[in-house]
Amino acid sequence: MYAELECSIQEYSWGKVGANSFVAKLAQSADQNFIINENKTYAELWMGTHPNGCSKLKTTNENLKEWIEANPNCLGDAIIQKFSIQLPFLFKILSVNQALSIQAHPDKKLAEELFAKSPNLYKDPNHKPELAIALTQFEGLCGFRPISQIKEFIKEIPELKNVIGEELAEKLLQSTDENYTNILRECFHALMTCPEKKVESELNFFLDRTKLLTDVCSRSKINVSTLHELAEKYPGDVGCFVLYFLNYVTLNPGEAMFLGPNVPHAYLKGDCVECMACSDNVVRAGLTPKFKDVETLCSMLEYDSMPLTSIKMQPIMEDECTILFKPPVPDFAVAEIKIPKSHGTYTLRKRSTASIIIIISGTGEDTIDKIKLYPGKVLFLGANSVIHIANETDLLIYQALANV
């Protein structure tokens, strides 16, 4: 049992413009009537049942959430037992042209508290762990750097030390690998709550100084190019200094990172597949014109250093064409399915829960119902659905499913 979906596009200002957007190109491929506006930003394609962008069945225009509620058996017993009658994940394609906000997502308990206190700001009571898989080279910030790196930046960047405050910065420099977390918390809070005029002044001093740096190694060490990109889009913003607290991550196509609750992060640029719990809860504190909840963000974060090796997620090989990214949450997992042209007919693995697939590249056909498969096509698959694919070219498909 499956149905083709018509999905929502979010035109956030940080998205890629016009035909440069992967999202826009997929939308146009899926719908010949879709006309790309070269003056618009196309940031996200949403596939799922979240009320801010619920998908519809293409043939009947029915709301997917309502259709699932009327046909609950499509979910599979494991989803119903764990999550009741609802799809537990939200599946996305992102095209990022400029940095998203310095942010974190609350765990379930905090999400419920924030929703009860400020439902106008925090739109639902659910947590929002995320998995991002790069489609093009994808850059972002994720988790606190090893403490040795943060100390080195504080030593080498006097403007950063000035924004944190001399006394706190020295305390962090004197900390050990065993007792740094509390002082790191204090330093990060001091940075994020520093008066805006002081941040702007110190940032401008720093930017002017880096313009005089000619040594390639020195420029690379403090990531001058990213610093100036952030400052150009968000002048005077404290988020520019956060670059020296969080890991700078580059994912090549097919590589993935998992963002658990309370982990600070910011996407910088590139295109990716993203899956998360069905939520839109974000606590922001920098690199954004939107509402900043600095105190909540600073109080909720995990202040443990995260080496890069712990951020990138390794998939499980399921068969010769399918690997599975399986994060430590029950809400979702994502399969990457690569079918070479030379492979011949391939049967998608039968899943015991409902899933959503999107064709990223290549063409083919379901051999049973003769459904054409091409980039941008999105299908909702009921539990235990079977699809036999005869591909005409190399085919790349991503599939979101519940991790139960």
Task: Tell me the CATH number at 231.
Answer: 1.10.441.10
Residue that is written with structure tokens 């990109």 in the block: 229
Same domain, yes or no: 269 and 334: no
**Is residue 292 a part of any domain in this protein?**
no
CATH of the domain at 365: 2.60.120.10
**Is residue 306 a part of any domain in this protein?**
no
| Average pLDDT of the residues in 356-372 | 93
**Is residue 293 a part of any domain in this protein?**
no
Dist. CA 246–CA 230, nearest whole Å: 14
Same domain, yes or no: 61 and 176: no
Residue 91 neighbours by CB under 8 Å, 6+ apart = 46, 47, 48, 273, 274, 275, 332, 356, 358, 400
Q: Which two tokens stand for residue 278?
A: 């069905």
**Is residue 368 a part of any domain in this protein?**
yes
When pLDDT is cut at 50, 70 and 90, the band that residue 32 belongs to is: confident
Same domain, yes or no: 151 and 136: no
Q: How far is CA 63 from CA 53, 69, 118, 153, 237, in A?
A: 10, 10, 27, 51, 40
**Is residue 305 a part of any domain in this protein?**
no
Beta strands at 355-361 and 378-381: parallel, antiparallel or unpaired: antiparallel
Q: 244 by DSSP, 3-state: which?
A: coil
Residue range 336-350, pLDDT digits in tens: 999 999 898 999 999
- Among residues 319, 164, 327, which one has the least CA distance to residue 261? 327
Residue length of the chain: 404
**Is residue 51 a part of any domain in this protein?**
yes
Neighbours of 103 (CB within 10 A): 26
**Is residue 67 a part of any domain in this protein?**
yes
Same domain, yes or no: 363 and 214: no
Same domain, yes or no: 196 and 331: no
| Threshold 0.75, pTM exceeds | yes
When pLDDT is cut at 50, 70 and 90, the band that residue 87 belongs to is: very high
Residue range 91-115, pLDDT digits in tens: 999 999 999 899 998 888 888 888 8
Same domain, yes or no: 20 and 137: yes
Q: How far is CA 204 from CA 58, 107, 217, 403, in A?
A: 51, 36, 22, 47
What are the residue numbers of the active site?
Answer: 284
Same domain, yes or no: 151 and 138: no
Please say if the pLDDT value at position 1 is more than 80: no
Domain boundary, last residue among 211, 244, 277? 244
**Is residue 74 a part of any domain in this protein?**
yes
Please say if the pLDDT value at position 137 is more than 80: yes
- Among residues 233, 261, 239, which one has the least CA distance to residue 96? 233
Residue that is written with structure tokens 């017993």 in the block: 77
Same domain, yes or no: 118 and 256: yes
Range of the domain at 225: 146-244
Into how many domains does the chain fold?
3
Same domain, yes or no: 23 and 43: yes
Predicted pLDDT of residue 241: 96
Predicted pLDDT of residue 215: 83
Same domain, yes or no: 334 and 361: yes
Please say if the pLDDT value at position 148 is more than 90: yes
DSSP code at position 100:
P
Dist. CA 23–CA 25, nearest whole Å: 6
Same domain, yes or no: 273 and 131: yes
Contact, 312 vs 256, CB < 8 A?
Answer: yes
Domain boundary, last residue among 190, 212, 244? 244
Contact, 181 vs 187, CB < 8 A?
Answer: no
Same domain, yes or no: 218 and 231: yes
